[in-house]
Amino acid sequence: MYETDLDRERERLYSRLATVRGIQPMPSIRNWILVETENPKELARRVNRRIAPGTVSVPRHLSGAVRVPVRDPKSNEILFRTIRELMRKAAIEEEALREDAEVGADSDGAADVG
């Protein structure tokens, strides 16, 4: 089987994306990688605001995923770092919301002494 630079770059980007918590790249062909995520529209919106409109798209026929383009190594690294940073921020925000909910639940059950 003949392996092109694009094939190698797709495999490299796929491997890098597989290390990011909260997303799961799926085996893909050509110059796109399909990536499963809980909130694809939000991820696409944030990536596109940071890099360029239309960089990441949400397929209409498939829910829970975004399409990530495979380009040159420099562009792919920028895209990878952006996704990684956004997913880290999303995890931190989610954790803070969870902690706030726990604190709120604890204080709701407290009896007033007085």
pLDDT reported for residue 105: 67
* Residue percentage of the chain with pLDDT more than 70: 89
Looking up residue 78, the CATH number of its domain turns out to be 3.90.1150.10
Q: Is 13 within the bounds of a domain?
A: yes
The total number of residues written for the chain in this structure: 114
The tally of domains found in the chain comes to 1
User: Which residue, 61, 60, 56, is CA-closest to 45?
Assistant: 56
User: Which residue, 10, 3, 41, is CA-closest to 27?
Assistant: 10
Q: What is the pLDDT of residues 84-106, one digit of tens each?
A: 999 999 988 888 888 777 777 66
User: Which residue, 70, 69, 74, is CA-closest to 10?
Assistant: 70
